[in-house]
Structures are given as structure tokens and as C-alpha cells.
């Protein structure tokens, strides 16, 4: 076939092939079928390919805000009724959000947590701090921002930075200079509910999870802890967070919402066998706390905190054998650093 005729022949051949596709009911040129449905702030919307992508990214962004609400905050103040009196107690948490993008439903937070007790004794010594660096991952399970469901989990190392022997010659724990070290992994499931009112936003979160320490497998713990420290723990929490509306000083008829009050309940139950304590020995197995936060309107992210609780096993490193009730009062603040672009 002569060379100039070949392109024309190819075009005609293509048209012959396309004619039945155009006339048939299943038109081959349709780029997508509108069948995808997704919820945006509680409203079901039928999506095409492009708007579905945009809606998904908006949902991921809103869930990232939910995760930030659930990050641990810092505390500076005083605990009352402890066996060893203190002048100052601090729980300093620096959250480094290293992965936070609307392109993904995954959210990653690296953190470093340090608990400090300044004793009310001559010289005001700091009782060997608890060092707890770790990493958290959050992953959304649904697309409803008003009723979010997500998983969170991670790894934490807990030690006191001391090199002395953990046990004394009489097999008791060296609470003054003994080494404490453990590693643990957590997996949590959270369901939330957001209620929007004209002048208030109400967020509620309920969490249940499990905590497994590497000592359960004979690794990563200081000598003397096996059999005397809880390796398996059930954790849970309930948080009620209220944000109220204020008038926008720049735009009229516009409202700005800011944190106002928060109520948070937490519990931990030690589920495995340790020190021959019975399963229902609540005095040695259960930790509970109830905290109330009131946000100070003249500061960016600082709240007055008051509350109390009971520790069946103290969470302050080598002091874990202590059991007591306590009260707490001071200031709370969220220290979060967004490192991603």
C-alpha cells in the first residue's frame, strides 16, 4: 500500500471499530461511573473521581485535628497525699508530629516524656526522673468526622537513667539508686462523637486498649522486675472536650471557637500475674484518675488543672510498689511541634 494512504487507512479502521462502541449501551468513552459515596461532616455525597479525592483529603485533614486533640499534654504543679511529700511535680511531654498530611489517613507522632518529682526534703532533690521516649501511630477506620473511629498504637521506652543495682541484698527494691527499665507496646481503639451547636462544639472520645511489656517475653527489663511488675495492662479513657464561640474581632458576624473546658477519666488494670496478687485485688492492680481542665482565655494553650485518683502501682519508675490515693492541682499545656511541611 502506498505510504500516503496508510494514515488514512488507519483512521478509517479506527472509526469502524468505534462505531459499535458508540452506538452500544455501554459507551466505551465514559471515564468513570458515579457510584462512590462518601460522608463529609455527616452528609452522604455521591462522588466522581476528582471530587472523591478532594473529599478524602478533607476528611484526612479533619481526622488529623482529632488526633492532635488526643495527644498527651504537659503538667506542672503539685500532687497531694503522696507517701513521699513533694514540692513540685511535672509531667513534661514534647510531641513531634513527623507525619501529618491530607494525602494519607496515617498520622505519626514521635514524643519524649519526662516525669519529675522534686522532693520536700533537705536539699530538695529530684527523685530519679522517668524518661519515656516513644512513637505513636494513628490510623482512621471510617470517613465520618462527626463520629470518628480510629486505631492508635506505638512503642515506649521507660527508664530512670540510674545504673545502681535494682535489688538490695535482702531482695527488696533499691528505691534510692536502683535501675529501672522496661519497654512496652500499645494498641488502642477510639470512637468519638462531635456535636456542633450555635455557640459550642462538643467532642467526646472513648478509648480502650492493651499494653504489652517486652518483659512478658523475657527481654528488655531490669533485673528483679519479672514476676513483680505488671507486663499486661488494659487501658481505657473517656474525654469530654468543650470549645466555645467568641466573636471575631476582625470579621463581623463571624465566630471563632477555642478550647474552654475538658474532663478526662483514665484507668489502667494490670491483667497478668504478679506478686501473687489475686485478679480482683483492685488495690494493687487498678490505677484511676479524673482530671478537669479550664482553659485560661488570655493564654494560647494553657489550662488550670485539678483532679485526683488512685495508683495501685505507682507509674514513677522504681517507686512502682507504692499504692496510694492522691490529689493534683496545677497548670497544663500542650507542647506540640509540627515538623512536616
- Residue-wise pLDDT tens digits, 265-300: 999 999 999 999 999 999 999 999 999 999 998 887
Q: Distance between CA atoms of 36 and 310, rounded to whole angstroms?
A: 50
Q: Distance between CA atoms of 287 and 206, rounded to whole angstroms?
A: 17
At 201, list the grid cell.
Answer: 462544639
Element (H, E) at 94: strand 86-100
pLDDT in tens, 122-181: 887 888 999 999 999 999 999 999 999 999 999 999 999 999 999 999 999 999 899 999
Average pLDDT score over the chain:
87
Q: Distance between CA atoms of 318 and 333, rounded to whole angstroms?
A: 27
pTM of the model: 0.83
Does residue 33 carry a pLDDT above 90?
no
How many of the other CB atoms lie within 10 Å of CB of 182? Answer: 20
Q: 291 - beta bridge partners?
A: 264, 307
Beta strands in 20-125 (DSSP E): 36-40, 43-47, 74-80, 86-100, 106-119
pLDDT in tens, 184-237: 999 999 999 999 998 999 999 999 999 999 999 999 899 899 999 999 999 999
Confidence at 7, pLDDT banded by 50, 70, 90: very low
Domain range list for the chain:
73-338
pLDDT for res 9: 44
pLDDT for res 54: 87
How many residues in the chain?
341
Q: Does domain 73-338 have CATH number 2.40.230.10?
A: yes
How many of the other CB atoms lie within 10 Å of CB of 17? Answer: 10
Confidence at 254, pLDDT banded by 50, 70, 90: confident
> 280: which residues sit within 8 A by CB, 6+ positions away?
none
3-state percent helix, strand, coil for the chain, nearest multiple of 5: 15, 50, 35
Burial class (CB in 10 A: 0-12, 13-18, 19+), 91: buried
Amino acid at each position: 500500500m502506498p505510504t500516503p494512504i496508510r494514515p488514512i487507512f488507519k483512521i478509517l479502521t479506527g472509526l469502524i471499530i468505534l462505531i459499535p462502541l458508540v452506538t452500544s449501551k455501554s459507551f466505551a468513552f465514559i471515564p468513570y461511573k458515579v457510584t462512590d459515596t462518601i460522608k463529609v461532616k455527616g452528609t452522604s455525597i455521591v462522588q466522581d473521581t476528582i471530587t472523591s479525592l478532594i473529599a478524602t483529603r478533607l476528611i484526612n485533614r479533619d481526622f488529623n485535628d482529632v488526633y492532635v486533640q488526643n495527644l498527651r499534654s504537659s503538667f506542672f504543679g503539685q500532687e497531694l497525699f503522696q507517701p513521699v511529700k513533694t514540692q513540685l511535680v511535672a509531667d513534661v511531654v514534647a510531641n513531634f508530629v513527623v507525619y501529618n498530611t491530607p494525602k494519607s489517613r496515617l498520622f505519626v507522632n514521635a514524643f519524649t516524656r519526662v516525669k519529675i518529682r522534686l522532693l520536700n526534703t533537705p536539699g530538695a532533690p529530684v527523685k530519679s526522673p522517668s524518661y519515656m521516649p516513644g512513637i505513636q501511630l494513628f490510623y482512621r477506620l471510617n470517613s465520618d468526622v462527626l463520629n470518628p473511629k480510629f486505631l492508635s498504637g506505638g512503642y515506649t521506652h521507660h527508664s530512670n537513667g540510674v545504673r545502681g543495682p535494682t535489688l538490695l541484698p535482702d531482695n527488696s527494691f533499691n528505691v534510692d539508686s536502683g535501675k529501672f527499665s522496661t519497654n512496652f507496646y500499645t494498641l488502642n481503639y477510639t470512637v468519638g462523637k462531635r456535636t456542633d451547636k450555635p455557640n459550642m462544639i462538643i467532642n467526646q472520645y472513648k478509648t480502650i486498649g492493651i499494653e504489652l511489656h517486652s518483659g512478658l517475653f523475657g527481654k528488655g527489663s531490669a533485673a528483679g522486675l519479672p514476676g513483680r511488675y505488671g507486663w499486661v495492662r488494659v487501658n481505657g479513657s473517656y474525654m469530654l472536650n468543650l470549645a466555645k464561640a467568641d466573636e471575631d474581632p476582625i470579621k463581623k458576624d463571624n465566630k471563632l471557637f477555642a478550647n474552654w473546658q475538658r474532663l478526662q477519666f483514665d484507668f489502667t488494670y494490670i491483667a497478668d500475674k504478679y506478686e501473687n496478687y489475686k485478679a480482683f485485688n483492685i488495690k494493687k492492680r487498678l490505677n484511676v484518675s479524673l482530671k478537669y481542665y479550664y482553659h485560661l482565655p488570655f493564654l494560647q494553650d494553657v489550662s488550670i488543672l485539678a483532679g485526683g485518683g488512685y495508683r495501685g502501682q505507682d507509674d514513677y519508675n522504681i517507686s512502682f510498689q507504692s499504692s496510694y490515693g492522691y490529689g493534683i492541682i496545677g497548670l497544663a499545656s500542650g507542647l506540640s511541634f509540627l515538623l512536616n511541611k
